[in-house]
Structure 1
């Protein structure tokens, strides 16, 4: 192995970044350069720009040891968001842990769909995880809506509550297995990014998915069990003409539309994501 792949004492930021990027790249990490910068920025509390302007500064042994440990962890495929402890979504900095899914850019599609409806009243995010969707909506709607969110995982709810407090966005969080603890509450909008991956999908062993909570990823043999539950039970909690919006897999649009129609929703349509794939299906209670 080349000598520059080892960290040594009296190493500068420039040298440490060079080694880190090389190690990540050799391990097949596609975002090697960015991840190395993010990790070192996290450890030094320097911005990515400051890493450049201070590239001749020497790093302490403590930081170098931590850098080495985190780079090795990233090489295993461990998600950069979990290493940093946060993920940006809709311009919001959200805490994430292994108890929550990592928010994806495509999930911003459901946020935009919900904003396009220009609803007022109460809105609900089902299976909120880190709180990404409901906090994004509350940040835009502000006092025009009363925001609610539920999740079966108490640990995920704790993370969502922390994000709500840190962002000063008021949301009522409810521990609930889908609608079980919502009593007779009715909403002007219900959104959800539920588990929708097939149980034996090969993607579960790739990228960051092996490190994310499996209960928030898979939903039966066809991945649609939870979507069926939500579509069926949302009818009792939606106001007349109120929309239900559900994120799903790129190849599930036709099946999800069929589920919506089978439960009597009207004006059912699917919205595509940034890559042109089916991503969010919308239907309105009759």
Structure 2
């Protein structure tokens, strides 16, 4: 079978399965399994594809047709210009979360100590430390499998960090200049409305914010003052409809300088606040 025929077969199978970007995904998977880029494909599309490429491509197309995310099939995702290993144990890093990293970078000072709560793949903390090499950080997650993957990603991206298995703050010690978190924030009742790629494949513990989506914000905001230095910063990623509720929780807890920042799509995406100085 020629490369062109193989690609057509993949596209048709993905279209039948209702994959929105069937052509793009089919092309990406062929590039991935063959090692070709777009230019190479155009030069070789009339050549016979090796049997091992055909077999592997068909296997990956079958997985994608079952709505398994591309990132879990290939095992990688780019974030903030860095490459991260991903697996079904962690949420796939999203471009929306880059807004959280960029806002955190804007408040970081040389030598700051960062706590990344609900670290998952480690993409937030690793990206921050990659940019701010004088800072130090600890990534925390309830799942040991997530911490193992975050540690792997730190080594891959040549970043030094500490990693801790902890149910929120239970195992955390010390005080931090900045606490940053992308916690689970989808209300339980809304989970069933998510795309199959998300609800059927990504870890529910990284999505479910309990009844109203605010459970983890409440918990983190309640305990953060015990772990923040005076004047320390707390930054969250939020859902598009939480631009009032999360700031209200912060204000009720006595935080000041509360601000809501929009993402590139114009949605409320980040909330930052400061703990009062002594």
TM-score, normalised by the number of residues in structure 1? 0.92
CA drift of 1:53 comes to 2.5
**Structure 2 matches for 1:119-134, cutoff 5 A?**
119-120=109-110, 121-134=112-125
Structure 2 residue 179 is matched with structure 1 residue 190: yes
Instruction: Tell me the matched-pair count.
Output: 274
CA distance in 1, matches of 2:274, 2:148: 31
Structure 2 residue 51 is matched with structure 1 residue 48: no
CA drift of 1:78 comes to 0.7
SS at match of 1:49: helix
Equivalent position to 1:200, from 189, 197, 205: 189
Listed one character per residue, the Cα deviations across residues 188-227 of structure 1 (whole Å, up to 9, x for unaligned) are 1111000001111133453433201101110210011011
Which is further off, 83-92 or 208-217?
A: 208-217
Give the corresponding residue for 2:253: 263
Give the corresponding residue for 2:50: 60
SS at match of 1:240: strand
Root-mean-square deviation (CA, aligned residues, Å) is 1.3
Equivalent position to 1:248, from 233, 238, 241: 238
Shift in CA distance, 167/281, structure 1 to aligned 2, threshold 3 Å: same
Q: Does the 8 Å contact 1:38/1:48 carry over to 2?
A: no
CA distance in 1, matches of 2:106, 2:143: 30
| 5+ residue gaps, structure 1 | 1-10
| 5+ residue gaps, structure 2 | none
Listed one character per residue, the Cα deviations across residues 90-113 of structure 1 (whole Å, up to 9, x for unaligned) are 011100000000011100000010
Structure 2 residue 138 is matched with structure 1 residue 145: no
**Structure 2 matches for 1:1-286, cutoff 5 A?**
11-120=1-110, 121-142=112-133, 144-183=134-173, 185-201=174-190, 202-204=192-194, 206-286=196-276
SS at match of 2:176: coil
TM-score, normalised by the number of residues in structure 2? 0.94
Q: Does the 8 Å contact 1:119/1:189 carry over to 2?
A: no
CA distance in 2, matches of 1:205, 1:18: 25
